Amino acid sequence: MDEIITNIEARVATWTFFPIENGEPIQILRYEHAQKYEPHFDFFRDKHNIQFGGNRVATVVMYLSHVRKGGETIFPITNSSLSQTKDDSWSECAKMGYAVKPIKGDALLFFNIRPNATADTSSLHGSCPVIDGEKWSATKWIRARNFDIPHKKLRQIPESKMLQLGVDESYTLKVSKPKRKSILGEAIIEANTVYGALRGLEWHLDGKLRKVLVIDTFNLGKRKLNYCCLLMMHQTFSQLCSFDYTTKTVQIHKAPWSIKDKPRFSYRGLMIDTSRHYLPIDVIKQIIESMSYAKFILFFLHNFRCEREFINAQWNKLKYIIYQILAKIIFASNFPSADNAGINVMAEVDVPGHGESWGVGYPEIWPSPSCREPLDVSKTFTFDIISGILSDMRKIFPFELFHLGGDEVNTTCWRETPHVKEWLHNNNMTAKDAYQYFVLKAQDIAISKNWTPVNWEETFNTFPAKLHPQTIVHNWLGGGVCAKAVAKGFRCIFSNQAFWYLDHLDVPWDMVYTAEPLDGIDTDSEKELVIGGEVCMWGETADASDVQQTIWPRAAAAAGKHVLLMRKSITLTILPRFKHFRCLLNRRGVPAAPVTNFYARRAPDEPGSCYDQ
């Protein structure tokens, strides 16, 4: 390539923060007297034109000649035209909008696509007629990715590498020193799967990094991904950066860096209780997105319940409504699904003890109108309903685990309802036996739909020898349960309510962090059976007005324990990082409460920096 062109390409890359390979070839244009270009958009709306390099994100126009009059570049619909005054040196065409005069040596940069990937219609532009002189210009269009690589050549991720429990999330991050006389550096992420890279990739708009090199060994070899067009940064990398308001640049703290990272546990969950207060879809989307900042991997949608207004006596109508509501909750998002954020979604149907609302549409699954839960164990129809619901939910939730609840089952209703009492007698069962029968039958239904059942710990505490061997025990009542469960060969999830129930507002961040899922477990083989933990946001006292302040930042303390085991003083090592992370959440629009409040989600006590609250 000619040295002059090479230098121009390099300067355009520096100016736009897009790598050279994202640019189309420079186009030279000549306008003679009266020639013009009608207003148009540079972005595309069809698939054909974006197969190479994606859409045109930015446009650079370089003026190669001076035009005595006319030939201005005009933006007819931008609001900026209101603040631009023009004298007689401008053409009449230029007075119809915001305009830029063609002056030799000047260049114009404008963006066609907003940071949220939507088209910016204010980028509508044209060239006014040349009145006196001749106009020469050079145009450089910048694509969203490498212009030489057709999008259709990117192969699908193998099923073995899809986001499932235990997928390899390890990565290596290397950050080089910025080159001399340049603020541009380079980061390299090496990962065996795309989710290893996603543990560090997030939607983040700050930064001046020129490119990110992702090495994904599963199918694409080495492939350069443009950082700016993807608007992503590594979670770890982003915490090494700070914005310098003097130089208006992002500074990389103490570069160079070389970091190897992988999580301690494959299951790192946050539970949201949507059954007690309504949470708007946008709030749920915000929570899912913010989870990725703390490297959570599992969003647990607790106990989907059909409320009275959603039920009617037609089973097909019930199925349709359930499907639509859940589909909206999970998939109505700016990204195609939570999977794109590296987040799995696990749902729950909590039976038999918390299923009263199902009987609004089908009263026959209640033991009696005055005694509504646990659900009627004596009727085949009860299990037909459960099977139908799970069949429809399987279409929505591809994750391999499904929560069946099984907690807080008071069997008094079964013992006192005549027809259930008769069924117990005929089958030689006690109420405790019937509880076991119901849970195991629900497990069989879930397993038949290719799900691994998860149950709250009461099922293990009551009949451990009878549970299906695939069962994952979900601890919540207190300590020591995971140690007992793994000793019997079961996998376990830690959610001890004394530490990891976020609705307990008097539990400070340090108690959340110091809770250890592996307490009381000595052998490596048993430690492997603790797949991780989950913080639980119960909804009795939280709704859209305060749920995020209740979740954050304390949930991040648990997330940190999922990723890193820190044996040093947490006040000296963890607390400063925790305060920094809370400020980082605030900057990204997440309403995280102050770190050291005695009660979670309480407002700051006095003025001060977010680092000191």
Structure confidence at residue 250 (pLDDT): 62
Contact 260, 175 (CB under 8 A): no
For residue 459, how many C-alpha atoms fall within 13 Å in the half-sphere facing its CB? 33
DSSP letter string over 453-465? Answer: EEEEHHHHHH-TT
Closest CA to 351 of 439, 413, 429: 439
Q: What is the mean pLDDT of residues 214-224?
A: 33
Q: Which of 158-167, 320-329, 359-368 has the highest mean pLDDT?
A: 359-368
Structure confidence at residue 249 (pLDDT): 63
Helix (H) or strand (E) holding 492: strand 491-494
Contact 218, 167 (CB under 8 A): no
* CATH 3.20.20.80 fits domain 267-587: yes
CA distance 604 to 9: 50
CA distance 153 to 162: 19
- Kindly report whether the peptide bond that precedes residue 150 is cis, defined as omega within 30 degrees of 0: no
Structure confidence at residue 337 (pLDDT): 43
CA distance 602 to 20: 49
Residue with the larger pLDDT of the pair 256 and 402: 402
Fold of 3-148: Jelly Rolls (2.60.120)
Structure confidence at residue 339 (pLDDT): 55
**Catalytic annotation, residues:** 408
- Average pLDDT over the chain, rounded to whole? 81
499-540 pLDDT per residue, tens: 999 999 999 999 999 999 999 999 999 999 999 999 999 999
Closest CA to 289 of 208, 343, 227: 343
Percent of all residues in the chain with a pLDDT value above 90, rounded to a whole number: 50
183-202 pLDDT per residue, tens: 445 667 777 777 766 665 54
Structure confidence at residue 185 (pLDDT): 54
CA distance 443 to 387: 10
Domain limits, the chain: 3-148, 163-261, 267-587
Residue with the larger pLDDT of the pair 588 and 222: 588
36-91 pLDDT per residue, tens: 999 999 998 887 788 778 889 999 999 999 999 999 999 998 876 667 888 999 99
